[in-house]
Structure 1
Amino acid sequence: MGRRRAVRHRDRLRGRPDAGPDHAANAAAATRPHPLTCLHGRPRRRRRRTQQRHHREPIGIRPREEGCMDEHAHEVAVADAPERSRFEITVDGELAGFAEYRLRSGRAVFTHTEIDDDQQGRGLAGRLAQAALGRVRGRGLQVIPLCPYIAAYIRRHPEYVELVDAAHRERVS
Structure 2
Amino acid sequence: MEPTVSRQTDPDRFEVTADGQVAGFTQFVDVEGQRIFFHTEIGEEFGGQGLAGIVVAQALAATREDGLRVVPVCPFVKKYVQKHHDFDDIVDRVTPDALAAIPGR
TM-score of the aligned structures, taking structure 1 as reference length: 0.53
Q: Which amino acid aligns with 1:146?
A: V
Whether 1:119 and 2:46 are equivalent positions in the alignment is yes
Whether 1:96 and 2:20 are equivalent positions in the alignment is no
Say what the alpha-carbon RMSD is for the aligned residues.
1.1
Partner of 2:57: 130
Which of 21, 34, 58 lines up with 1:107 in the alignment?
A: 34
1:48-127 aligned within 5 A: 74-127=1-54
Deviation of 1:84 after TM superposition, in Å, equals 1.7
Report SS of the residue matched to 1:149: helix
Report SS of the residue matched to 1:140: coil
Partner of 2:77: 150
| d(CA) in 1 for partners of 2:3, 2:21 | 9
Q: Which amino acid aligns with 1:147?
A: C
**Where in structure 1 are there 5+ consecutive unaligned residues?**
1-73
Deviation of 1:83 after TM superposition, in Å, equals 2.8
Deviation of 1:109 after TM superposition, in Å, equals 0.3
**1 or 2 for the larger relative contact order (CA 8 Å, sep ≥6)?**
2
Q: Which amino acid aligns with 2:64?
A: R
Q: Which amino acid aligns with 2:78?
A: A
Whether 1:162 and 2:89 are equivalent positions in the alignment is yes
Contact 1:75 1:93 in 2 (8 A): no
Contact 1:78 1:90 in 2 (8 A): yes
Report SS of the residue matched to 2:14: strand
What is the count of residue pairs matched by the alignment?
Answer: 94
Moved over 4 A (4+): none
Deviation of 1:104 after TM superposition, in Å, equals 0.3
Give a deviation string over 1:120-168, Cα, whole Å, max 9, x none: 1011011011100000000110011000000100001011111112xx0
Deviation of 1:93 after TM superposition, in Å, equals 1.9
